[in-house]
Structure 1
């Protein structure tokens, strides 16, 4: 229907062109028609390359038996055939006929292919819904691991380790603490109840052949008796056994001082922490790895 309507429009445009180029000399007077009919124009009045054939058709159209205009004898009115019937009865120009034939062949081909244009237009107006895409699930983030490497006696050593771990993608922070460090071991007899008791004990030790005896006269160990200070714990224990063999009981007490120590706090994923532990164990076996929850409160010392 779409192409038939287009064909009718083209035919009407052709008729309009002929009407604009009509030959005034070839005009034919027709009987009066009823009011409201409008102006009627014969094809013979059109002046164009098809004028000769149009004149012939106009002559036929002017005859009473042409079936287009019928005049009743003795009447001033004429009966006009509808425009649709007149257009259908007129001969189609060769160019338009060729276009119509091509269009008909195209429609027939689409019908055989099972893809009429109406279906194509409908598909364009209602495009198929795009399939819903399912977003891949985001992998759950691995919780970080927190802890500290230490203790280090020198701050430069701890700082070097912190910078090395940071270059490998770990979050690090340097922290300083104080701790008591043993610098030797006392072999001693604990403080006596009084000064007189301490003096008497010193006398007994000397009578047993024990030398290198000192008595504490002040401090936390007042009225105690020192039997020697040793840097090595084994040597201190050997002196303790010697005193015991002579009938006296002595103790080995560490001699402590307060020294600064340094720790490297870290926070990272488990794989990086494992690699760091392996490297530190090879180079610094005495360094400990103390892990703690990552929710630990941050302090001015640098703990996460």
Structure 2
């Protein structure tokens, strides 16, 4: 009886050892030591260091392209003066285009309108009339005794657009013995300007577009 029990135990022990050899050796049969879906752990010393990005040498870095704007010559011009707002609008229409920024402005300027030849007032009204009679006696015609204004009792000898004609009249009256004088007559008049900022000023030809006579240009402050 004892021998039979010993024999059964030996068989069971052999079966257990065989099962352990078959099922317990994970690495020899390629089985994973982790559960499915769980990543394999590695020691830091076992990990491959990440590769560093390649830094191009200075010789391989392309040089930046030259800025197109830097190659352009910006100009700031004032064109004028225009006599009328319509002339200004016509010029603005003719100069409108890419790379051109414009603004219109109006200024007041002093303009000579005429030259006045006259005899200063001699004093009271009676003295002015007496001087006029002397002019008549000396055959100096075309005069007028002023009766109002800041030149009251002065004697007007003519108003001339051409300064040369004014000087001629003064000399004639002076030769006749009267101290004639010339006074420039001015007034405030509006004038109109067109300011431009031109990106490619070196090639900008405004003269070829604006046909208004007497128009010029000069540099001005950019805006």
Same fold (TM over 0.5): yes
Q: Does 1:221 align with 2:151?
A: yes
What is the 5 A alignment of 1:67-146?
Answer: 125=51, 128-132=54-58, 133=61, 135-136=63-64, 141=70, 144-146=74-76
1:159 to partner: Cα distance: 0.5
Calculate the TM-score normalised by the size of structure 1: 0.47
Kept in 2, the 8 Å contact 1:188–1:224? The answer is yes
Deviations 1:3-22 (A, max 9, x none): xxxxxxxxxxxxxxxxxxxx
Aligned match of 2:32: none
What are structure 2's unaligned runs of at least 5 residues? 1-13, 23-27, 29-47
**Shift of residue 129 of structure 1?**
3.1
Matched, 1:261 2:191: yes
Equivalent residue, structure 2, for 1:73: none
Distance in 1 between residues matched to 2:121 and 2:218, nearest whole Å? 38
Q: String of CA shifts for 1:96-118, please: whole Å, max 9, x gaps.
A: xxxxxxxxxxxxxxxxxxxxxxx
Per-residue CA deviation, residues 222-277 of structure 1 (Å, 9 max, x unaligned), is 2221011233333222212211221223223344454433221222243255x214
The structure with more radius of gyration: 1
1:243-262 maps to which residues of 2 (within 5 A)? 243-262=173-192
- TM-score scaled by length of structure 2: 0.61
Aligned residues: 177
Please, which of 163, 169, 173 is the counterpart of residue 239 of structure 1? 169
Q: 1:286 aligns with which of 188, 193, 214?
A: 214
Which protein has greater RCO, CA pairs closer than 8 Å, 6+ apart? 2
Identify, as 1 or 2, the structure richer in helix: 1
